Copies of this chain bind each other. A is one copy, B any other.
Amino acid sequence: MRPRDEHKEGLIRQEAVEMIVREGLEGLSMQKLAKAAGVSPATLYIYFKDRDDLIIQLVIEEHTKMSRETLKDFDPDMHFAEGLKVQWNNRVAYYLKHPVGLSFMEHIKHSPYFEKAMQQTGNLFPKVMGEFLSKNIERQELVRVSPEVYWSIAFAPLYQLIKYHISGRGLPPSSTFVLDEEKLQQALELVLKALKP
Contact = CB atoms under 8 A, between A and B. Distances in A.
A151 interface: yes
Interface stretch (A7-15, A69-77, A172-180): A172-180
A127 B161 CA distance: 20
**How many copies of this chain are found per oligomer?**
2
Interface stretch (A30-38, A79-87, A105-113): A105-113
A172 B147 CA distance: 8
Contacts of A170: 146-148
A25 B112 CA distance: 12
- A-side binding surface: helix, strand, loop or mixed? helix
Contacts of A106: 109-110
A157 B171 CA distance: 17
Interface string A138-159: 0000010111110111001111
A191 interface: yes
A161 B147 CA distance: 11
Of the four ranges (under 10, 10 to 19, 20 to 34, 35 or more), the interface on chain A belongs to 35 or more
A25 B27 CA distance: 10
A33 to B, nearest CB: 14
A78 interface: no
Interface string A109-121: 1111000000000
A3 interface: no
A-B residue pairs, 6 tightest by C-beta: A26-B26, A194-B194, A152-B157, A156-B156, A152-B160, A156-B160
Interface of A: 23-26, 103, 106-107, 109-112, 123, 126-127, 129-130, 143, 145-149, 151-153, 156-161, 164, 170-174, 177, 183, 186-187, 190-191, 193-195
Given A23-B112, A191-B194, 12 more contacts: A24-B26, A24-B111, A25-B25, A123-B172, A130-B171, A130-B173, A146-B170, A148-B161, A148-B164, A149-B183, A153-B187, A156-B157
